[in-house]
Amino acid sequence: MSEPIRIELPTMYGMQSVNTYLFLEPEPVLVDCGEKSKASWEALQAALSVQNLAIKDIKKIIITHAHVDHIGMAGQIVEESGAEVWVNEHCYDWAVHTKDMWAKRMKMMEKHILGDMPPDGDGDKFKQMLFGFMNAVMDAWDVLPKEKVHTYPIDGTLNIGGTDWQVIYAPGHTNMQTCFYQKEKKWLIGADMLLKITATPVIEFTLEDSSKREKGLAAMLASYQKISDLEIETVFPGHYEPFNDHRRLIASQVRRIHMRKESTLELIKGGKNRFYELFDVLYTNRMNMPGMSMLRGYLDLLIDENKIEEQIVDGYNFYQLV
Ligand SMILES: [Zn+2]
């Protein structure tokens, strides 16, 4: 079997691009497929034409996780090609009930991001940013027709490019993320689990209860361990170029997470007890979502380690040493 062909598509996020991987044999298959936009469509068309293919030739799209930059354009490709879309069982509702799922997730983000903003601070500005972001996501993401969507189990195998890949459940960035591992070749299609930069755990609800927030960073650390244990020659990530030496990358990202977690603890010891006070120091002048979810994660880890506790004081979360 030949290597997956990497195709870079443009994305609205800060990253330079998102990857879709093309397999030619036994039939044209894509793993992930970018956001729906004119630029993305044209980039895919151009890359396929190099292989003497067109979008209508795509037979199957396999999705690692249902985020807009990985699934957004699937609907448009299906319309053109009639392709089947394969998602893991945790992505199904996101694929076919996209708007409902987003509405639930927005509630969670409002509660856990805006809920911790200072009363006289940038709350409104951030709220606007959040809603602007959601609208941009909805524009770039078509809901999929049910009859085209199939599910694969998170702990099974999947035939891609004529050979079996083990599905590796890798929660952290999101609780619906899967990677694919080809044992003989030692290849990993890594989604957003392993990237040059540390992927952040998004603010989302748990798989069981849409009113409960997922503790993504702890899950991410466990997934790092799981992936580190695999024998891997090449990682084909969701963003940036393929790379080797996954263990070194994982070790450095895990080290950094613990370092930042310790800095958070030091700040709490020093009397910074509010989310926004901590955020101001750790992410000076960088009002951003990834930073907010990382800080959430450091606090979750410290609570799990029984080093700090969280209370509501005057309507806001208050963190203090145990
Ligand atoms: Zn991504």
Ligand 1 center–CA 68 separation, angstroms: 8
Characterize 294-313 residue by residue with b for buried, 16 or more Cβ atoms within 10 angstroms of its Cβ, and e for exposed. Answer: bbbbbbbbbbeeebbeeeee
Ligand 1 center–CA 295 separation, angstroms: 20
pLDDT at 314: 81
pLDDT at 319: 95
pLDDT at 197: 86
Determine the Cα–Cα distance for residues 291 and 163; give it in Å rounded to an integer: 39
Ligand 1 center–CA 69 separation, angstroms: 6
Ligand 1 center–CA 122 separation, angstroms: 27
Ligand 1 center–CA 231 separation, angstroms: 24
Ligand 1 center–CA 120 separation, angstroms: 33
- Phi, then psi, of 141 in degrees rounded to 5: -145, 110
pLDDT at 130: 80
Distances (CA, A) of 310 to 160, 283, 314, 320: 46, 21, 13, 7
Ligand 1 center–CA 320 separation, angstroms: 34
Q: Which residues pair with 189 in a beta bridge?
A: 180, 236
Ligand 1 center–CA 230 separation, angstroms: 22
Ligand 1 center–CA 71 separation, angstroms: 10
pLDDT at 281: 92
Ligand 1 center–CA 192 separation, angstroms: 5
Q: Which residues pair with 312 in a beta bridge?
A: 317
Ligand 1 center–CA 239 separation, angstroms: 7
pLDDT at 226: 97
Please state which CATH number belongs to domain 258-321: 1.10.10.10
Determine the Cα–Cα distance for residues 131 and 272; give it in Å rounded to an integer: 29
Task: Please give all residues whose CB falls under 5 A of ion ligand 1, grouped by chain where several chains appear.
Answer: 69, 192, 238
Residue range 107-142, pLDDT digits in tens: 888 887 776 776 666 667 777 888 888 888 989 999
pLDDT at 148: 98
Ligand 1 center–CA 40 separation, angstroms: 14
Q: What ranges do the domains of the chain cover?
A: 258-321
In the structure encoding, which two tokens stand for residue 307, read together? 């080093």
Listed residue (272, 284, 283) closest to 317, CA to CA: 272
Task: Label each residue of the chain as H, E or C.
Answer: CCCCEEEEECCCCCCCCEEEEEECCCCCEEECCCCCCHHHHHHHHHHHHHCCCCHHHCCEEECCCCCHHHHCCHHHHHHHHCCEEEEECCCHHHHHCHHHHHHHHHHHHHHHCHHHCCCCCCHHHHHHHHHHHHHHHHHCCCCCCHHHEEEECCCCEEEECCEEEEEEECCCCCCCCEEEEECCCCEEEEECCCCCCCCCCCCCECCCCCCCECCHHHHHHHHHHHHHCCCCCEEEECCCCCECCHHHHHHHHHHHHHHHHHHHHHHHHCCCCCHHHHHHHHCCCCCCHHHHHHHHHHHHHHHHCCCEEEEEECCEEEEEEC
pLDDT at 285: 62
Ligand 1 center–CA 123 separation, angstroms: 26
Determine the Cα–Cα distance for residues 262 and 7; give it in Å rounded to an integer: 39
Ligand 1 center–CA 173 separation, angstroms: 9
Characterize 228-267 residue by residue with b for buried, 16 or more Cβ atoms within 10 angstroms of its Cβ, and e for exposed. Answer: bebebebbbbbbbebbeebeebbeebbeebeebbeebbeb
Q: Which residues of the chain have pLDDT under 70?
A: 115, 118-123, 285-287
